[in-house]
Amino acid sequence: MTNIVIQNLSKTIKKNVVIQDISMELQSGTVYGFKGINGSGKTMLMRLICGLIRPTQGEVSINGKVLGKDLSFPESVGVFLENPAFLGAYSGFQNLKLLASIKSVADDEAIRSALSRVGLRPDDHKKYRKYSLGMKQRLGIAAAIMERPDIVILDEPTNSLDADGVNLVKSVIKDEKKRGALVIISCHDAELLQDLSDETFLLEQGRLVGHITEGTK
C-alpha cells in the first residue's frame, strides 16, 4: 500500500512562483489526473513528487518518509516526462536493458512484456535515432512500467500517438491501476483524462483550484 502526502507545497524559480501552497493525499490502486493548460504547474508538480526537484516550502512524504530528508527519490517509481533521454545507437530493447541494469529489478522477460504492452516489437533491431515520435513516446512509457513500480507518473503519455497507440496507453493505465499501482497522469484531452481518472486535480498558475472525484471505475 502506497500513500503520498503533499503538504503546503510551493516552488519558486527565479522569483517566479510556479507551485503555490498545494496539499493533497494520494493512495495506491487509484488513477489521479492532473488537468490544466501549459504552464499551469502539472509537470512541475510531477517533478516535485518524484524528487527531481526540491520544493521551496512544504514537503512530499511517501509512506511517512519525506523526500529530500528521509529519501532522495521514491523507492519504487516509474516516470515518463517530456523528452526522455535514450541512446540513439541502441534499439528499444537495448535501451531498456541498460536502464534495467541500474536497479536489476526488471529481467529480459519484463522488458519484452513492457515493450509489447505499448505496441513495440521486442525483437525489433531498429535504432532509437530512427524511431518516429510515436515510437519514442511508446518507449518512454515502457521504461516507466517495466519494473512494475508502486508509483507510475505519466506526463502527456498520449502525445504523438495515433488512435491505436492511445488505446494501448489507456489499457496500460487501467492495468497498472488493477495491479495496485498509484498512477498520476496529465493529458490535454479532457475526455480521456475524465475517462481514466478516479480523481482529477485542476491546476491553474501553480495553484490547485479544483478537485473532482469521478468514482471508482
203 and 119 housed in the same domain:
no
Q: Identity (one letter) of the amino acid at 108? A: D
Q: What CA–CA distance (Å, rounded) separates 105 from 215?
A: 33
Dist. CA 188–CA 193, nearest whole Å: 8
- Whole-number Cα distances in Å, 135 to 58, 106, 127, 158, 170: 38, 21, 11, 11, 16
pLDDT in tens, 5-41: 999 999 999 999 999 999 999 999 999 999 999 889 9
User: Are residues 2 and 102 both part of a single domain?
Assistant: no
Residue 120 lies in a domain: yes
Tally of CB atoms within 10 A around 109:
9
Residue range 167-185: mean pLDDT, rounded: 97
- Give 175's pLDDT tier (boundaries 50, 70, 90): very high
Shared domain check, 141 and 156: no
DSSP 84-135: ----TTSBHHHHHHHHHHHHT---HHHHHHHHHHTT--TT---BGGG--HHH
Domain-located, residue 81: no
Q: Does residue 215 register a pLDDT over 60?
A: no
Give yes or no for residue 172 having a pLDDT over 80.
Answer: yes
Read off the CATH number of the domain in which 44 is found: 3.40.50.300
Cα atoms in the 13 Å half-sphere on the side-chain side of 189: 17
Cβ atoms of 139 and 168 closer than 8 Å: no
96 and 5 within one domain: no
**pLDDT (average), residues 207-217:** 79
- Residue 164 covered by a domain: yes
Number of domains in the chain: 2
Angle at which helices 163-178 and 133-145 pack, to 10 degrees? 10
Residues 108 and 213 in one domain: no
Per-residue confidence at 82, pLDDT binned at 50, 70, 90? confident
Range of the domain at 159: 1-76+149-217
Domain boundary residue, one of 98, 115, 148: 148
163 and 64 within one domain: yes
CA angle 34/35/39 to nearest 5° reads 100
Do 101 and 140 belong together in one domain?
yes
**Tens digits of per-residue pLDDT, 101-135?**
999 999 999 999 999 999 999 999 999 999 999 99
pLDDT band at 83 (very low <50, low <70, confident <90, very high): confident
pTM of the shown model: 0.94
Q: What angle do CA 105, 187, 23 make, to 5 degrees?
A: 80
Q: What is the pLDDT of residue 12?
A: 96
Q: Looking at the structure, do residues 159 and 206 belong to the same domain, yes or no?
A: yes
One domain for residues 161 and 144: no
pLDDT of 143 > 80? The answer is: yes
- 23, three cell numbers: 496539499
Q: Give pLDDT, residue 216.
A: 44
Residue 217 has pLDDT above 80, yes or no: no
| Greater pLDDT, 39 or 144 | 144
Q: Does any domain span residue 64?
A: yes
